[in-house]
Amino acid sequence: MNRLNIICLGVHDMERAVKFYRDGLGFQTDEKRDKPEVIFFSTPGIKLELYPLELLAQDISVENPPEISSGFGGITIAYNAKTKEEVFDVIELARRSGARIVKEPQDVFWGGFHAYFADPDGYYWEVAWAPDFEFDENDMLK
């Protein structure tokens, strides 16, 4: 198993999530509807999928779906920036789009610079830069 190419987020309110990711953060998609059944966003190296949370739980198991709760699930999504300034830019874009800024941009003990925001469904995103980050021709972190 050597390819991770889709991250699926179960969302409570599809229309709100689509507006946040497509209209707010500017993620690319061919989907024009504000409340599709499912939506895929193209980002460098990975697709982000939004799917209704209740349906995602049923997809995992009809007989015994996972319990839907609001709380930290121990998973974050990372946006790897090319510069410290880009960390600020992404956090400001997220803020304007309605994200809750959990941690303002700051230096980190491991030598980098990062911040965190939570999307409208409470998923945590880290926006990080490190002086040793290298990117390939597709803007993927090496």
Tell me, yes or no, if the pTM score tops 0.95: no
pLDDT tens for each residue of 99-125: 999 999 999 998 999 999 999 998 999
125 occurs within a structural domain: yes
How many separate domains does the chain show?
2
142 occurs within a structural domain: no
68 occurs within a structural domain: no
- Domain hosting 48: range is 1-62
16 occurs within a structural domain: yes
Reference 98, options 39, 17, 29, 36; nearest CA is 17
Task: Report the alpha-carbon angle 142-104-137, nearest 5.
Answer: 20
Task: Report the alpha-carbon angle 104-129-125, nearest 5.
Answer: 55
State the CATH number of the domain containing residue 26.
Answer: 3.10.180.10
pLDDT tens for each residue of 82-97: 999 999 999 999 999 9
